[in-house]
Structure 1
Amino acid sequence: MRNPFSKTYTEAEEQMFHFLGQIKFFESLKEKEMARFIPAMHHRKYVKDEVVFFSKDPSQALYLVKSGDISLTIDIKDNFETIFEVKRGEAFGENSLLENAKRTYTALIVSDESELIVIPHFAMQEIFDSNPKIKAKMMTSLTEYYNQNNQRLFRSYRESFGFFSLRQMFE
């Protein structure tokens, strides 16, 4: 039986919780914790070839993909090389969870259109400042995400041995 004193949510909020629960950085949050982010969310539509942000820009927001495909690219000389493609139910711009971070890649819309939910960095920081448990859960998810990326990087390095030196990462 449901607690009569617990908060009830609208159908739209329940749908948003379901959507957020599929995204790595929100998967460990309870509904009442996810609800803190809803007022900070901005829905934006983008079109093919529109740049969401460039590499080296300040990390000012986290992006959640409602629809469409986004290519995450790195600049190599005068070319853009795709390192990853994100789709519905995924997030990018994850280093906006950190203080004073800069983008490490460029995000480019590759589908005809895309709908993104944008959560500004300052809004996340306000939530983190007032609720350390939310911050701890999301930082744990970010750490797990970066650990998975490191594992993929090292596996890729082993498979293409000789093309670059990992020692360069620390120089």
Structure 2
Amino acid sequence: MLNPFKRTYSEGELEIFEFLANTVFFNKLKYAEMYRFLSAIHNRKYVKDEVIFFRNDPSQALYIVKSGQVSLNVDIKDDLENVLRIRRGMAFGENALLTDAKRVYTAIVDSEEAEMMVIPHYAVKEVFDSSPKIKAKMLASLAEYYNANNHRLFAAYKSSFGFFKLGEMFE
């Protein structure tokens, strides 16, 4: 039996939900939970070599790539070293899910153009404050993401024969 009180979604909303459901920080959410973010999502276009944010900037938004490619870079002396390339369906700027965080890398558009879904930190905070369940699900995804990154970091350290002092990471 159909529930007459259950919300129905437009075709456009369903497309957004299906896209977000394949994104790491939204994949644990139900459509009704994703709906809470809809009014906050801004679609923004960027051009090649445009800096989306710099390392140490305040983490003011979460980004999800709709098209194009973004490189995440760390600055070493006077140069940038690419750490990761982000493509369609991938999110970055994940520490915008945290309070008072600063960016740990610089994000630069790699492709001729890129289109992003941008969700401001204040909107994430509003959803988190009003729904502890959504907050718990998204922070669990964030913890899993960081855990996987730690595993990759330790594997890279082992394969580099201890080229750097891993203990500095914990100081």
**RMSD between aligned residues:** 0.7
Distance between the aligned counterparts of 2:66 and 2:87, measured in 1? 8
Matches within 5 A, 1:22-101: 22-101=22-101
- Tell me the alpha carbon deviations over residues 95-140 of structure 1, each in whole angstroms, 9 at most, x when there is no partner: 0000000000000000000000110000100000000000000000
Distance between the aligned counterparts of 2:41 and 2:169, measured in 1? 35
Q: AA paired with 1:145?
A: Y
- Give % identity: 61
Distance between the aligned counterparts of 1:80 and 1:6, measured in 2? 50
- Other structure's SS at 1:108 match: strand
- Other structure's SS at 2:39 match: helix
Distance between the aligned counterparts of 2:78 and 2:2, measured in 1? 59
Moved over 4 A (4+): none
Partner of 2:168: 168
Q: AA paired with 2:167?
A: R
Distance between the aligned counterparts of 1:84 and 1:110, measured in 2? 11
Question: Scaled by the length of structure 1, what TM-score is found?
Answer: 0.98
Q: Shift in Å at residue 21 of structure 1?
A: 0.1
Matches within 5 A, 1:129-168: 129-168=129-168
Q: AA paired with 1:54?
A: F
Q: AA paired with 1:166?
A: L
Partner of 2:17: 17
Q: Shift in Å at residue 3 of structure 1?
A: 1.9
Q: How many residues align?
A: 171
Q: Shift in Å at residue 161 of structure 1?
A: 1.4
